[in-house]
Amino acid sequence: MSSVPERSEVDEEYTWDLESIYATDDDWEAAYEAVAERVDELAAYEGQVTDDAETLRDVLELRDEIMREVSTVAAYARMRRDEDTTNQQYQALTARAQSLGADAQSAASFIDPEIQELTREEFDAMVDEVPALETYDHYVDDVLRMKPHTRSAEVEELLADLSEVTGATGEVYNMLANADMAFPTVEYPDSEARSASDESSGGEPRDGEAVEITQSNFVNLLKRPDREFRRTVHEEYYDEWSAMRNTVASAYKNSVKADVKTARARNYDTAREAALDGPNVPVDVYDTLVETVHDNIDKLHRHAELKERALGVDDLQMWDVYMPLTGDEGPDVEYDQATEYVVESLAPLGEEYQSRVAEGLESNWVDVYENEGKQAGAYSGGTYDTQPFILMNYQDDISSMYTLAHELGHSMHSELTKKEQPFVYSSYEIFVAEVASTVNEALLTSHLLETVDDPEFKKHVLNEFLERVRSTLYRQTLFAEFEHGTHRLEEEGEPLTADRLDELYRGLKEDYYEPAVVDDRIAREWMRIPHFYRAFYVYQYATGISAALAIVDNVLPDGAGGDRNADAADDYLEFLRRGSREYPLELLRIAGVDMSSSGPIDRALETYGRRLEEMEALME
């Protein structure tokens, strides 16, 4: 039987370098104790924050110093845990770090309410007196903007103290999905299949050999040519989730309740309004996304119909949706080859950007392969005071190569931001973060279509583009509709039972995938989506890809092979360097994109339609 390797069996060349943060766990412990003691220093300023300009400067700088240290302590613990989510030691360290973070937020909770006692004119006078406060100009503007939704110091402290509790359902879900759930094994048909997870450990299953379904390889298994095998994977996987149906429904219900109650505590009418007001994104942007996608839903239906024809089936089933239009899972792209392609593709952004990515890939930024117990999926981590770190579960395929490019976009955004901005503006909003990651994907597509000679490889690249738009723009908008629907039901007092959640999700799948058969199991797909425990997050993937495609069109106005627009590239890099010094829509205008309109979304979907036509012609 094929198996996922233990952590100790993975070559260190393909693991991240967490020792660059703390050489040993004892060093982490010392850092934890040191910053835990400093948290209490903030209390001395309570009631005095705006007494004079010097005090305001001192308290803001102290808070930033403490939060910097807390974020590094927390990042190390989390990443150690994510190496093997079953490791009790690092579960404990992560829990302690989360408590420390909550304590630090609680200790600093009086600062914003006290600043909100200032007028804008009073703050400007303080800047004249202490010019160092100019650094905090945008931060103070944001704090004053939020005054109607900030409670008294006592209530803010209570909300901060409760953050561990209100966020607990996500942690429960994470442990259930990644540590406690055990998925069944399935038998490979004939000699068609080769598990990407086995490739990472050097093994290849023989005919009829079994492979364990995991969170990381599930989608890859649904790309296997044997249709009956895909059906088995689909049914076995969702049947395992079905056994946890009431538990997951209870966790998600309480997550939604926490969102709604927290929003009401802050004087918002809805949880969605509260979530979008944080980064100062108008609710109209969310609604415009949904409306524009629905106006273009016919293109997704064309994609589904094309897939049905490509597979030669009478009815497209949910276990067919991930199958490539090319009919198989595509060529192998080993990790080292992927890094070459990705670095080469970034040339339009300039030599400095490109060389920094190459250097990072040689410096153990990336934890490459899946191992037993490892956190599923991928993310870019690290802090203001560390190098970037990228968690991958690389599967030696085109999709994994694109994920690598995606996460490197996040990492370079952080690198450029922390090089140019103070800590207070280093944690940019997700709304703009997903632009950086998707620009890298779009540049990779352009590069591969222009430079790779193999026509079959180009077909797979084109298929990857179509799938990325389907799964990022359409699928994430579907998720956004589901989140809006669940929170609206809770706000209207309707119980969020497992049956009701299935019903809501199924209706959306039927709208989006009208040409396909929507079965009972896919109605429970909502159970496997971890992003739902961070409400109103996923829509930003859809707006992000829309903005990214517009930016790449600006940088490469003549498409792949044409001269780059150096001014547009410089505008984009300036956008990355700004961090969160401006509000998201203002930042994107620096990069030449107006996300307050439907224009970038329409443009992205027009490109999707053109690519569909190209694929239809190739398949004929």
Rounded to 5 degrees, φ, ψ at 322 are: -85, -10
Q: Quick one: average pLDDT of 118-130? A: 97
CATH code for residues 7-166? 1.20.140.70
pLDDT confidence of 120, banded at 50, 70, 90?
very high
CATH code for residues 175-243? 1.10.287.830
Is residue 416 pLDDT above 90, yes or no? Answer: yes
CA angle 365, 374, 252 (to 5 degrees): 115
Domain parsing of the chain, residue ranges: 7-166, 175-243
Is residue 327 pLDDT above 80, yes or no? Answer: no
Q: Three-class SS of residue 262?
A: helix
pLDDT in the model for residue 4: 87
pLDDT in the model for residue 374: 94
Does residue 478 contact residue 470 with C-beta atoms inside 8 Å? no
Residue type, 117: E
pLDDT confidence of 610, banded at 50, 70, 90?
confident
DSSP string, 244-255: THHHHHHHHHHH
Distance CA 506, CA 481 (A): 12
Is residue 441 pLDDT above 90, yes or no? Answer: yes
187 forms bridges with which residues in the sheet? 210
Task: Give tens-digit pLDDT for 168-202.
Answer: 888 888 889 888 898 999 998 864 544 433 433 33
Per-residue exposure over 563-578, b if at least 16 CB sit within 10 Å of its own CB, e if not: ebbeebbebbbebbbb
Task: Give tens-digit pLDDT for 502-547.
Answer: 999 999 999 999 999 999 999 999 999 999 999 999 999 999 999 9
Distance CA 465, CA 461 (A): 6
Distance CA 528, CA 14 (A): 28
Distance CA 497, CA 495 (A): 6
Task: Give tens-digit pLDDT for 536-593.
Answer: 999 999 999 999 999 998 999 887 677 899 999 999 999 999 999 999 999 999 999 9
Q: What percent of the chain has pLDDT over 70?
A: 96
pLDDT in the model for residue 195: 40
Is residue 2 pLDDT above 60, yes or no? Answer: no
Output the CA torsion 517→521→526→527 (10° steps): -170
Q: Quick one: average pLDDT of 458-480? A: 93
Task: Give the lowest-confidence range in 146-155, 333-342, 568-577.
Answer: 146-155
Token pair for residue 265?
Answer: 């505590």
Distance CA 568, CA 7 (A): 43
Token pair for residue 253?
Answer: 């219900």
Q: Quick one: average pLDDT of 315-338? A: 91
Residue type, 250: S
pLDDT in the model for residue 215: 85
pLDDT in the model for residue 201: 36
pLDDT in the model for residue 371: 95
The per-residue pLDDT of the chain, averaged, comes to: 92
Distance CA 123, CA 130 (A): 10
Q: For residue 177, what is the DSSP state?
A: I
Ramachandran assignment for 381, one of left (phi > 0), alpha (psi -120 to 50 degrees), beta (any other): beta
Active site residues: 407
Q: What percent of the chain has pLDDT over 90?
A: 78
More confident residue, 207 or 72: 72
